[in-house]
Amino acid sequence: MIVARNRRRGPRHRRLLPGHHGRRVRGRRASHGRAEFRISHAVHGPASPPPLASGHRDGDGSVSGTGQVRFRAYDDLAGDPTHTDGASMPSCCTPGHGDAHATTVALALAPAPRGHVADPERAARRLIDLPGGRFLMGTDDPEGFPADGEGPVREAEVGPFRIAPTTVTNAQFAAFVEATGHVTEAEHFGFSFVFGGFLSDEVAAASPSVAAVPWWRAVTGATWRHPEGAGSSLATRQDHPVVHVSWNDAQAYCAWSGTRLPTEAEWEYAARGGLEQRRYPWGDDLAPDGRHMCNIWRGDFPTLNTAEDGWAGTAPAKSFRPNGFGLYNAVGNVWEWCADRFARDTGRVMRGGSYLCHDSYCNRYRVAARSSNTPDSSTGNIGFRVAADGTTPGP
């Protein structure tokens, strides 16, 4: 999504439809949280390049001949117009693919072929058993984003469940693809979004940027196998979290592995690690005693990442100390898909923040922070971890 960030109002999201590169588009909200756009003026540009952005609000927009996206946003939360050009600061959070064809979604949600279903018991042995119970969910932290729905603090209850200690890795996702022949939505679209700082000058020049968040590039050929597009590989990243996977792709993996995505409440319960109302999974101090506890942006975003925590992009799924429940990288590293809808729109919840988050504009690596994207969207900083139902204790 193109995100124009206002620290107190939250993100504004916009959608461009596939094939509208180089054209002016105008739109208004069709239903709460979604927008439809119509072509009002066409200019020169490729006939059907990838869509550049996705999201869930109304507004006027245009796409330049170079592929940059510009918007005057109409905030349906606050009720007043806001320019994305300086009136509010953009977020790192994730651009999206736009509307997917129904056939693409059907392919992504199709069950694994017969004879290729993973052993659910084997998958379950890799999960952590959690008892569930009541806990205080959300936050009233003044550093939070009320418009994201982080608060108010409320009591929530989850039943017993199991959850993976890590996000799904490239090696694990490769086993799924090998067994099922699954083709991800990024592969169907032919592109995905990559942080521009990872690209060569040649690839960057050929990859349209998003004006509100110009560090994001729509890179042809960027997929889970080739995270930075053609020429990149997973040779040294087998134990890193898989990225460039949509919510639909994650659902397909879950169907194959006998697991499911965690609910948002389960995710937060597990990420807190038994600590009530702390900012991070380990407490309130981002770097206790000077120790780095997560993989986020260090330095000046988006121009300088000192990588003081050891990683500029994704880190291995078992990096840093686990939380009190044994979960690794519950915050930072990659956003994690959850099962729930974000609100009344079709966006799906993402939790945990990513290696692109920085306190200067997007401190969504807090355990109560939340964001969303459309279920067909993928980027280089979205992954997922799996969960499963637990066993309810007898009387």
Among 62-76, 96-110, 176-190, 194-208, the minimum mean pLDDT is found in 62-76
Per-residue pLDDT, 117: 56
Segment 159-170, tens digit of pLDDT: 999 999 999 999
Distance (Å, rounded) from C-alpha 269 to C-alpha 267?
6
pTM for this prediction: 0.74
CATH number of the domain bearing residue 366: 3.90.1580.10
Are residues 86 and 119 part of one domain?
no
The mean pLDDT of the chain is 76
SS3 340: strand
Are residues 309 and 210 part of one domain?
yes
Domain contains 363: yes
Domain contains 361: yes
- End-to-end C-alpha distance for the chain, whole angstroms: 48
Domain contains 97: no
Domain contains 224: yes
Domain contains 256: yes
Domain contains 122: yes
Continuous H helices in the chain: 102-109, 120-124, 170-180, 185-189, 201-205, 247-257, 264-272
Per-residue pLDDT, 182: 99
Domain residues for 367?
103-389
Tell me how many domains the chain contains: 2
Domain contains 95: no
Quickly state the pLDDT bin for 101 (edges 50, 70, 90): very low
Which of 69, 90, 111 is a domain's end point? 90
Contact yes or no for 256/180 (Cβ under 8 A)? yes
Domain contains 282: yes
Are residues 132 and 13 part of one domain?
no
Are residues 364 and 310 part of one domain?
yes
Backbone angles phi, psi at 268, to 5 degrees: -65, -40
Left if phi > 0, otherwise alpha if psi is -120 to 50, otherwise beta: which for 352? left
Answer whether the bond into residue 152 is a cis peptide, omega within 30°: yes
Are residues 120 and 78 part of one domain?
no
Which of 90, 117, 145 is a domain's end point? 90
Are residues 133 and 54 part of one domain?
no
- Give the whole-number percent of the chain exceeding pLDDT 70: 67
Q: Is 156 a residue whose pLDDT tops 90?
A: yes
Segment 227-234 mean pLDDT: 95
Q: What is the CA radius of gyration of the chain?
A: 20
Which of 34, 65, 90 is a domain's end point? 90
Are residues 156 and 83 part of one domain?
no
Quickly state the pLDDT bin for 392 (edges 50, 70, 90): low
Quickly state the pLDDT bin for 5 (edges 50, 70, 90): very low
Segment 319-341, tens digit of pLDDT: 999 999 999 999 999 999 999 99
Are residues 148 and 269 part of one domain?
yes
Count CB atoms within 10 A of the CB of residue 28: 12
Segment 85-111 mean pLDDT: 41
Are residues 109 and 68 part of one domain?
no
Are residues 163 and 43 part of one domain?
no
Are residues 126 and 37 part of one domain?
no
Q: Is 223 a residue whose pLDDT tops 70?
A: yes
Are residues 155 and 19 part of one domain?
no
